[in-house]
Amino acid sequence: MKSENKSERNILYDIFYYWIAGVQFLRKCTKPSKQEYKQLLRAYIGGILFLGSLAYVIKLIHIPINNIIVGNKE
């Protein structure tokens, strides 16, 4: 019985600790300024464009190689 009660207390303590830590984290957070927001947006758009063009190039190279290996089934 005592071990169950102790483990329940530990679980409740962990939940309480993470709740307090989350509240403290949110209080320290600040909204980004317009300049920071523009920098983030530029980085995200650049990453998306880079990954998109990389995927396009890979697909462009893959199609002819796949046709050579598999062959046209017409």
Rounded to an integer, what distance in angstroms lies between the CA atom of residue 45 and that of residue 37?
12
Show the tokens assigned to 10.
Answer: 């530990």
pLDDT at 4: 60
pLDDT at 2: 54
Q: Are residues 40 and 62 in the same domain?
A: yes
| pLDDT tens series, the chain, 74 aa | 455 666 777 888 889 999 999 999 999 999 999 999 999 999 999 999 999 999 999 999 998 888 888 876 65
pLDDT at 46: 98
Q: Are residues 15 and 50 in the same domain?
A: no
Q: Are residues 36 and 24 in the same domain?
A: no
Q: Are residues 41 and 55 in the same domain?
A: yes
pLDDT at 42: 98
Range of the structural domain that residue 10 is part of: 1-29
pLDDT at 74: 58
Rounded to an integer, what distance in angstroms lies between the CA atom of residue 64 and that of residue 58?
11
